[in-house]
Amino acid sequence: MTIDKVPEEDISSEKVSAVSTWIYDRTGQGVERSQWVIKERPVTLYLNGREMVTLLCAGHHLDELAVGFFHAEGFLQTRDDLVTLDVEEVAGKVRIGTKADVSLPDRLWMKRTITSGCGKGSLFYYALDALMSRPVKGDIEISPQQVLDRVEELHRLSEIYRRTHGVHNTVLAAPHKALLFRDDIGRHNAVDMIVGYAFLNRISLEDKILITTGRLTSEILIKAAKVNIPIIISRNTATTLAIELAHSLNITLIGYARAGKFTVYSGRERIIDAVGV
């Protein structure tokens, strides 16, 4: 399956809510004003009947969120591994069944780590994750102008961001156009939705680009490596561990993409017309 057009974002009362607020300035003058805020809710994910984790999220695209989470964490290797997918929207539960019992061993079940992402996205993160991830082999290339063009699309695609400024935006892209857009209160959740959509629709990510508004951290790098995404771009900075992992996993890592320029931390060979390559 290919993606021909970025789907229109659905703005509904399920995603945002109008609340009454008071806006004050330094003079002490206050004005009552109605303001849009993003909704937040817990969603619990189950794997083969076992409660695995509860994510704090905006509460939409729950099928993609759950599938992407479990795929990026290694519990779903191929599309054929997914046997059942049951979303309980009102209850905030997603139940996934697989061909084999791939629940975490007890020794790892106790080592869940709360990541540094907004929304406290839980990640079954342990040191071997990085060692078990294989270098990405995608040979995709992108020009400097394309980098900046794709980043500029991020906020243009999010009506929720324009209303609330309360979400992280993520885009799956080809060098010449955006392909898929998702947003959420947590940057990891938005990435998992992208991964989940691709998994459910059997879309290869080896020739795709991941663009996010969040920080470039080790968790994002490992997620990308596990699903073979070769280029990651953000308007924000990268951590030292993320940069080290990007070098070892052959991922092109681009940050501070704003105001007509960007920083390449690793994988410069994928930048077209880069001087000195």
Which domains can be identified in the chain, with CATH numbers? 1-16+36-277 (3.40.140.10)
Look at residues 242, 248, 195 and name the one whose alpha carbon lies nearest to residue 214.
242
Mean pLDDT over 86-92 rounds to: 95
Say if pTM beats, i.e. exceeds, 0.85. no
Residues in a beta bridge with 174? 177
pLDDT at 274: 54
Average the pLDDT over each of 33-37, 50-54, 215-219 and give the range with the smallest value: 33-37
pLDDT at 161: 66
pLDDT at 217: 92
Give the percent of the chain with pLDDT over 70. 79
Q: Is 118 a catalytic residue?
A: yes
Q: Which of the following is catalytic: 52, 58, 96, 118?
A: 118
pLDDT at 19: 86
- Nearest 5°: phi and psi at 195? -60, -40
Instruction: Tell me which of 193 and 138 has the higher pLDDT.
Output: 193
Instruction: Tell me which of 274 and 199 has the higher pLDDT.
Output: 199
pLDDT at residue 13 greater than cutoff 60: no
Cα separations in angstroms, 28 against 25, 31, 34, 218? 6, 10, 19, 43
3-class SS at 114? strand
pLDDT at 135: 83
pLDDT tens-digit readout, 171-193: 999 999 999 999 998 889 999 99
Average the pLDDT over each of 42-51, 95-104, 116-125, 131-140 and give the range with the smallest value: 116-125
